[in-house]
Structures are given as structure tokens and as C-alpha cells.
Copies of this chain bind each other. A is one copy, B any other.
Amino acid sequence: MLKDADQDFVDQLRAVLPERAIRTPEARHLEEPRGQWTGQAAAVVAPGSVDEVSAVLRACNDAKIGVVPYGGGTGLVGGQVAGEGPLPILLSLERMAAIRAVHPEENVIEVEAGAILQDVHTAAEAVDRLYPLSIASKGSARIGGLLGTNAGGVNVLRYGNARDLCLGVEVVLADGRVWNGMSRLRKDNTGYDLRNLMIGSEGTLGVITAASLKLAPRPAGEGTALMVVDSPAAALSLLALARDRMGEGISAFEIMHRMGLEFLTEKLPDIRQPFDTPPEWFVLIDVGLAAGLDPAEALEALFADAFDRGLVSDGMIAQSETQRHEFWEVREQIPEANRRVGSISSHDISLPMGAVATFIEQGGAALARLGDFRINCFGHLGDGNLHYNVFPPKGRDKSEFHNLRDDIKTCVHDLVDAMGGSVSAEHGIGRLKVGDLERYGHPVKLEVMRGIKALLDPNGILNPGAVLRAGG
């Protein structure tokens, strides 16, 4: 059973850490982007080295004090905010933000877990390389959190998610032991894959303090297009055609619905919209091609081929970097417009590619039986990952539909599960989806997960209540 982190315990930490490592929690440490939870913490502890992280965890483990690992605070499932249970400390990696080394000839960068994603992008670009992981909150999200949640984003189709882009990690276990797994190797078959066990465990099995990450060569030429499709099924055929023609050259393939454009018009009217008449469905295609291929020409040829096959009816190809940016702005501002409209329930789901179109059809029909909603469905179609968000009808507020929220969620998630999909494609379980994991997770998987948790964190100090029920 965990205990409250009282003043005595915080003083005990002060004795082993430098003065600047112990801070009073600020509002930002106890909030989360969607405003659904408020956290609590006796102190923000910000160690400056792996040894200090080790000392903190050892002390917490001995005293049975909960530890909430904290990166940029941008998580969308409450993994970074513990609002109930015994008072924990918040372990912020913000003072461990160094780029340790860049190896352009190896396409590897070594960073501390507190490094901000944008800074990793910048460091990679400085040596003409790309760290391909990219999400909307890149200006504040930190590498430790991105690995902890196995973050996804817009380039997974081509480059994989945070897991796929990581070669090695340094991890502090609950009892303070340090595992140095900072490999720069592309291949290493020496024993069980602890790296991937830590990645995606949301700080419940250990605290990642550093990582070596894969970089990619920058494509010789890049281009972006918007194309209007008849249906999600046509969008999937267009994706297959695009990949047949350009292989791995397709960096992103994002689907959007007219609802997203309407929300932009309503809430963010300054965003320049590309269509005179908003289409029902359209996709953004981003390509990065090898030398010898012109991205705009390749996209034009793709459009012509797709038009002949009846897959697309309209489209535009960015003629400049400014226009590429405008096209992307539409996609990237939709989450902000959603936030301002206010969803009743938001879902980060994935489906087998072959089930995506059917899901969109059946999901809309099932929700219509529950009430009159607006659905904004958009996301990373190339990964089968949809952000499927349900809003009140125009002129109504989400607060009026609070009583329907659980029904909506169950309706969507049951359908996803029945189709072999996932109720958390890229955001993780956090505290929001602990019940979903219990409901939809395979029972044997849950048993093994609980066993591993008990093995690595027998006192349950690490991120209590996240992923698995505390004390479960």
C-alpha cells in the first residue's frame, strides 16, 4: 500500500538532491490538455542526472511513495496526472534535456529523456537529417513521454512510431537500479527485448532517462497534395495506388471530413481553406522522393491515374512551400477547432485497413440511433488510425450530453473491438482507458501484464493507477 508523500519525505529527498531539483508544483504540472483531470503532487522533483533519478526512485521505493513520471505534459489520456490515491511526487525530466551526441554518419542521435521533440528535430536538421516522429505538440512534448506512450503522429506510415524509431534506452527501475541499454545498433539479438517492454509502458515499469534514436536521410524532394475522394473506401484504394507508384515515398496519408472544415470556419476563420465548396471527404498526401523524381509531377501523375480509375474527382498540388504549409495547416488545426467546439466523446481508434470503410459507415449508423450528433472523423488513414470524435448538434453544448457520454464511448469501442480494432491506437491507456483495457484486452495478456508489473515494481510506486488499476 502506498503512503502519502509528506513534508518529511520531501525533506529526505532534499538531503540527497541539489536544491534546484525540488520544486513546488505549478498549475501546468497538474493540468492536462483536455481539462478532464486535475493532478496532485507533494513536490515536483526534477533530477539532473540518471544517478539523481536513481536516488529519487530508491527513496520512493523504500518509503512506498508514488511517482508520476512527467515529460511535456501533453498526453491525452491522463497518464501524467494522478488525481486520486495517496499523494505522490511528480518526477519531471525537464532538467535532463540535453542532446548527448549526434552521429550523422550512423543516422543516430542520443538524447536525454527531457529533450523537447522540436529540439531533436532541429538537431537532426543541423546535420541534414530527419527525426521523423512528428505530432502537433512537438514544441512541448519530450522524448521520454513520447517513448513512454509510444507516440505516433503523421509520419508513422513511412517511418514507424516512437518504438520503431528507437534503438536504445537508459532506464531506471522502481528500486533505483539503472539499466544502460543505450545501443546504437541496428541489429542486436542478445536476449529478451526489454527496450520494447519499456517503450509504451507509460512510466509504469521504469523511467526512461535517455534514448538513442534513429534519424533518416532527408528526401531529395518533397510535395503535398489535397485530393477529393468519393468515400473512405476510395481513399484506401488511392493509398494503395499511391504506394504502388511511389513505394515508401508516401510520407503521410491523412483523411479529413467536411465536418473538420466546418469547425475551422466556425472556430478558426483565419485559417485559409483550400476548397470553394467543401467536399465530403478528402485526403492530404505528403511525399518525399528520391533524386530524379519531381514530387509535383509524381503527384500529378498519381492524380491523373486515380482520376481515370474514378477514385478522385478534384485535387490540388502545392506549388510552393507556403502552399504546402497551408495544406498542412488545415490538417493540424482541426484538433484545435475540435477543442473549441467541444466534443462529447473523443476516440483514438485503429482498425484493420480492410475494415476502416465499413467501420465509418456502421459507426455513424450506430451513433445515429443514440441521438443527433456531429461526427468529425479524420486522421492517419495510412495506419488505419482514426480520430473519431463525437460532438453535439450545432448550437448545443457538450455539457447537455454528459449523460450520453458513456453510451457513445461504449457504442464506438464495442464496434471497434468487434472489428478487430484497437481502442487506443496512439495515445495509450493512461488513466482514461484503464477500464477499456480491462474490457477489451485479452485476459491472458492482462494476467501477464500484471505479473510483469508486480515483478518490476512490487510496491506499485511507478505511475500508480495508470495502465493497470492501482493495487490490482
Contacts and interface: CB of A to CB of B under 8 A. Distances in A.
A462 interface: no
B185 A444 contact: no
Contacts of A436: 190
Interface of A: 103, 105-108, 149-150, 152, 156, 160-161, 163-164, 173, 177-181, 183-194, 196-197, 199-201, 205, 217, 219-220, 236, 240, 243-249, 288-293, 298, 301, 350-354, 380, 383-385, 420-429, 433, 436-437, 440-442, 444-449, 451-452, 455-456, 467
A422 B188 contact: yes
A420 B289 contact: no
A445 B191 contact: yes
A36 B353 CA distance: 46
Given A180-B442, A236-B105, A243-B217, A187 B426 contact: yes
Given A184-B352, A350-B185, A190 B247 contact: no
Given A184-B352, A190-B433, 17 more contacts: A108-B352, A108-B353, A177-B444, A179-B444, A186-B384, A187-B422, A188-B422, A189-B424, A192-B201, A196-B196, A196-B197, A247-B248, A247-B290, A289-B290, A292-B293, A292-B298, A455-B455
Contacts of A441: 190-191
B449 A194 contact: yes
B350 A217 contact: no
B449 A452 contact: no
Nearest to A454: B455
A112 B187 CA distance: 25
A145 to B, nearest CB: 13
Contact of A451 (B301, B423, B455): B455
A178 B217 contact: no
Contacts of A288: 247
Nearest to A188: B422
Among all A-B residue pairs, the 10 with the closest Cβ atoms = A196-B196, A188-B422, A248-B248, A106-B353, A179-B444, A184-B352, A187-B425, A186-B383, A193-B196, A187-B350
Given A187-B384, A190-B429, A442 B181 contact: yes
Nearest to A382: B186
16 contacts: A103-B354, A105-B236, A105-B353, A173-B448, A178-B444, A179-B444, A187-B426, A190-B436, A193-B193, A217-B244, A246-B290, A246-B291, A290-B290, A292-B293, A451-B456, A452-B452
A385 B186 CA distance: 8
A183 B420 contact: yes
A184 B247 contact: no
Given A188-B424, A422-B188, A220 B247 contact: yes
Nearest to A468: B191
Given A178-B444, A219-B247, A350 B186 contact: yes
A302 B247 CA distance: 20
A448 B179 contact: yes
A217 to B, nearest CB: 5
Contacts of A301: 292
Contacts of A440: 190
A385 B185 CA distance: 9
B445 A291 contact: no
B249 A188 contact: no
Nearest to A352: B184
Contacts of A103: 352-354
A185, A189, A446, most chain B CB atoms within 10 A: A189
